[in-house]
Structures are given as structure tokens and as C-alpha cells.
Amino acid sequence: MRNVLLLLALGFLVSGDAFITTAGAEAAYQLRIATLAPRQSPLGEEYSKLKSGLREATDGQVKMKMYFGGVAGDEITVVRKMRVGQLDGALITSTGLSALVRQVLVLEAPGLIRSYPELDAVREVLAPDLEALFDKAGYKLVAWGDAGKTRIFSTSRIVAPSDLQNVRPWVWKDSATMRAFIKAAGANGVLLNLPEVYSSLQTGIIDTIIASSVGVLAFQWHTTLKYMAKQAGGIVTGAFVIRQEQLDKLPKEARDYLEAVAGETEEAVRVHGRKVDDEAAITLSKRLKVVNLFRAQRQWEEVQYKARESLVGRMYSRSLLTRVQKVLKK
């Protein structure tokens, strides 16, 4: 896991595009795909299989070059590199996706979607419209994914939203939903990119994070934390996107293969990823003190509502939010 952290650091230390290579002599085409996920993760494992399958399906004509562990930079950097043609695609969360289609953030509207069945139901309804928006933006959304349930982890006991005002919570620099939530709680967040979290926890720059259990365990953030919330507040959503311009250049065999296995890969990542996150939560509950937020549930819901409403008009429309609420019957 130290190697993962080293890779994350290299994402900041390597200047320019030194890690972006051109297609090798053995392949006529190359897809350069980046992600923050470690190679040794459910997502990394499934997409490594996809990489091998694509090469076999095209008799070696197409090679998928994967940049795992954040070596291509944080998600906004990855999106920028896709836009200028230095990368062809990415496996990114809603933070990166929202830089392409901001409406996707409705899937992570604070306090709205709390369970996997709810997420699946909402995504089934909204997917066609959201995917059409990505098409319009010049990107093909190949497959959806998610990266675990989010909850609060901290070095001091947090029970109510007001407790966040007395700590130093991490806010992912480019996450509109996280910023909205921390602001609604009346707290002052510390803006950092994901690769900066580990060292910032060690030095005390931050002492509280909101993240998935699998992420906390994979990046070893738990080593400096003492508490975790029993209740989850939401689910990290994401997707695999490819620049349509690059996709159109690929041979038909490659496009057919990607379309054929997209659903299979999506399902495998979903099933495996959710299982691993649940297992990570159990593991962390044995290492950290679990805090029940039930007594302050009403207060948490009020903060979530305030944060959710603050994003209407800026990130998603009222009508889109209402559609989600109708699906959830909330």
C-alpha cells in the first residue's frame, strides 16, 4: 500500500505529461485511461481484465494503457487532459464527472440516496438522460460504477453536525457536494486534493474526513483516525468515460467489444466493489470506535437538506431533483 501512496505523490511530482506515452509499435491504436483507484482494487482488477480482453478481441490492434493510483493527477487534472487529448478516457467519481456534466451530482445530493437499491433505482431512470448529456459534451459513458458508502471518520468523537465546527474536516477541493455539506454544517473545511489527505492527516492539518470505508482502508487513512460513524450518509458514484472523438477512431471490433462487455464489467465492479466496501466497514469497526449518530438524526437531515437545496440551480435543476425524489418516494 505504500506503493499506492508513492504513486499518488508522483502524480504531483511528475511535471507536464511525462507519463503520457504514445502507442507502442505492437499496437495500431491506444486508449490511455486514468483513475485514482489503485491497481489492486475491485475496479482495478475488473478493468485490467477489460484491458486484456480488448487486446485479444482486436488481435492486438488496440491497447488500453491504464494509469492507476492517481499517477495522471487528481480527477480535475485528468478531465483537463482528456479535453486536450493527452488522455482518452477515465474511471472517475462524480467529482470528475461533474466537470463534464454537472447534473450528474444529483446522484450524490447530500442525504438523498442512502442505499444501493435506491441508487440502482434512480440510476436506471436517469441513466438515459444523463448519458445523452455526456454524448452532447463529446464523451461516451461506457459503464456506471460506485465506490462505497460514505461516512464520517475522525480523531475526535462527532455526534451532531455542530461538532464539525470544532474540527478540521477535509473537503475534496473540487467536490461541490462536499463543500455544500460542510458549509451547511457551519464548519470550515480544509480544501485539499485527494493525494494530499494522507500526509495532512499525519501532520494534523485535517482531523476529519468523509469517505467510503474501502477508500479509508486502501489509502491507510485509518492509521491516524479514532472514530467512525455507524450510519452512512451517501454513496460515491462514478463512471467510465471515453472521448467520443477517440472512440470513433478505433476499429469496429474494438467498439463492438466495449459495447458488448460494458454491462458485464459494470455489474462485476458493482457486486465486487460493494462487497469489499461492506467488508472494509466491518474491518474498520474493529479498529476504530463506532459512533451512533441516531440521536442527532434530525439535525443531520436538516444540514443535508440545506446542502441539497444550495446546489439547486448551480449543479442540478429543481425538476431533476424532483424526479429523483419521486423515484425514492421522498
pLDDT tens by residue, 220-254: 999 999 999 999 989 999 999 999 999 999 999 99
> 54 and 254 in contact (C-beta within 8 Å)?
yes
Kindly tell me if the per-residue pLDDT of 141 is higher than 90: yes
Q: Which amino acid is at 315?
A: M
Helix, strand or coil, per DSSP, at residue 141: strand
pLDDT tens by residue, 79-103: 999 999 999 999 999 999 999 999 9
Q: Per the structure block, which three cell numbers stand in for 21? A: 506515452
Kindly tell me if the per-residue pLDDT of 6 is higher than 80: no
Provide the Cα torsion 225, 226, 230, 233; round to 10°.
Answer: -30
> 51 and 228 in contact (C-beta within 8 Å)?
no
**pLDDT over 90 for what percent of the chain?**
70
| Long-range contacts (CB closer than 8 Å, 24 or more residues apart) made by 268-273 | 268/46, 269/42, 269/43, 269/46, 269/47, 269/143, 269/145, 270/145, 270/146, 272/42, 272/45, 272/46, 273/42, 273/43, 273/145, 273/146, 273/147, 273/148, 273/214
pLDDT tens by residue, 273-329: 899 999 999 999 999 999 999 999 999 999 999 999 999 999 999 999 999 999 998
Q: Report the candidate in 41, 6, 64, 74 with the shortest Cα–Cα distance to residue 145.
A: 41
Find the helix packing angle between 318-328 and 116-137, rounded to 10°. Answer: 150
Phi and psi at residue 285, in whole multiples of 5°? -65, -20
**DSSP 8-state assignment for residue 169:** B
Q: What is the pLDDT of residue 5?
A: 32
What are the distances in angstroms from CA 285 to CA 151, 208, 291?
Answer: 12, 16, 10
Class of the domain covering 2-328: alpha beta
d(CA 30, CA 24): 8
Kindly tell me if the per-residue pLDDT of 36 is higher than 80: yes
Q: Per the structure block, which three cell numbers stand in for 65? A: 494503457
> 320 and 108 in contact (C-beta within 8 Å)?
no
Q: What is the pLDDT of residue 26?
A: 63
Find the helix packing angle between 176-184 and 297-310, rounded to 10°. Answer: 130
Strand partners, 67: 34
What is the rounded average pLDDT of the residues 157-183? Answer: 95
> 276 and 214 in contact (C-beta within 8 Å)?
yes
d(CA 321, CA 316): 7
What pLDDT band is residue 50 in, cutting at 50, 70 and 90?
A: confident
To the nearest whole number, what is the mean pLDDT of the chain? 88
